[in-house]
Structure 1
Amino acid sequence: MPNASLLNQLLRFTPTARMFFSGNLCTLTQGSEADGLKQGTMHLLSRGELQLTRKGFAPLNVRAPSVLLLPRALEHWLQGSGPQGVDLMCATLSELAPPLDMILPDVTVIDLTATSSLQRPVELLFEEAEARAFGYRAAIDRLLQYTFVVLVRHLIDRQLLSGGVLEAMVDSRLGVVLSMLHESPEHDWTLDSMAELAHLSRSAFALRFVQVVGIPPLTYLTHWRMAVARNLLAQGQAVKAVASQVGYGNATAFARAFQRASGQSPSAWQMEHLSQP
């Protein structure tokens, strides 16, 4: 298992969470781009049983108390079983950043009766939703984000997550490279400089990185830089300033890379996200 310092890198950019439903459910359709929902979701069940349906997959029955995590935008349907439906809370999740996006499965179900660390935050969420005291929505969104962090901790502690990036983190050669990429995205990284850091030849390093992580090292670097850039843009920093902080010599080159990765220009992405409540 990676050490604590490396595990912290998994959650350096924790996705934000926003509640969009709380109450009794009979039927709910989510994740459809036609409906405008293009984010991951987290569902917390406090009572009853629901059925998760996705195209091409057998229906999945989930009993309360549970947390159902779908960290990517996947079209799915939730239907409460029985005449009384289920009591639950639903939240959207902002885009995952590497390396976390490379290890979380499309669907995760956690039984809260066997997970003491998650029980109290979920109880607090439903208490806030029921009381609806001043500032309850802000409190709920922050508790949802905390719940997500605790959920990832649980998955790591129980060794329920797998993926090449986790193996790379404990690899004696690749781990130091990943750590430095994460800490210094602004550095003028090349395949040669990464290989030198790993004490491997250029070809041996490139091959080992792809075999373990699953993508080329420069591709991984770009994914990480874009995650850092989104975080900085969401803070309101100027595009030119962000470009230099993620290793691009000028704003034009950065804008092209960001457009390819996100489907929007940096300024358009920033405007959209800063306008969100």
Structure 2
Amino acid sequence: HSFSSSVVQLFIQVNPGSNSTPPLGDLLHVRAVGDNDTLHFLFCSQGAPTLLFVHTNSSSSNVQVNWTQFLAPNTNGSLKVEPESSVLYSSAIVFSRLLEYDDVNNTAEPTSEFFPPYDLQNFTWNHLNLSGHTALLCGADASFTNGSLCLQVCLFDSEGRSQSLPHLLHSVNSSQLELRLDGVPARAAQSRFLLELQAVGGAYPLSRMEVHESIDDEYTPSIFKVTVSLHAVRHVFLPRLVCLLGGNHPGLDSQHTPEQKPRTGMLSQHTVQNEQIDN
């Protein structure tokens, strides 16, 4: 999505409208308000972690949550954007499973022999840790002794660069998502991990995929392969992956593919950009 101004206002709430902490997971709601529109960004940890984007043509639109329905299993209509007539499009990304295989030849090309997957909807998730414009969610499978999988979402109300390495460029049209695997037990000598994502497009599903290759950032000099998912309503989901290893974030060669395989302890960071594109 492309806002008409270079600066937007961000309004951030955790569990909006709830009188108590939900027992099964939190709901983060961010309103990015432009001059004539609003981008609603929702991050839910109830079940498998999910990101929901809703773009409206109103700067006063808001999200209403029916918490009784929201906490009940297999119910619809618990979350509404009002006024409903202002909704231009919506899309969602579900972080569904963590996969692992033995990369014997160190090629980063997955084989058909995967270990039993970790289903993220069965993870035990901590409550969201909100600090400024950054939300951190960490959880673990019952089989993890001390390991964890963490998702950190960073949102921006102006243009600039991240303070931490690799100092990725951001704007009001982008958010950044960091994935951390910390101490997850490997089941093979050369284990690699894949994070499975499921995209949901509602009335406007992803219509086509394109891959672009470019050198576009002197702060992170490299050739990036970027998979661009295009919607029929001129909405683009643009992830750019950067892999880092260790707590001090030393660099590591990486490339973006439909299935990216970070090793244990690796942090991956990408930019999710929502903007309009010309046909």
Larger radius of gyration: 1
Is TM more than 0.5 here?
no
Q: Which has the higher strand share?
A: 2
TM-score, structure 1 normalization: 0.26
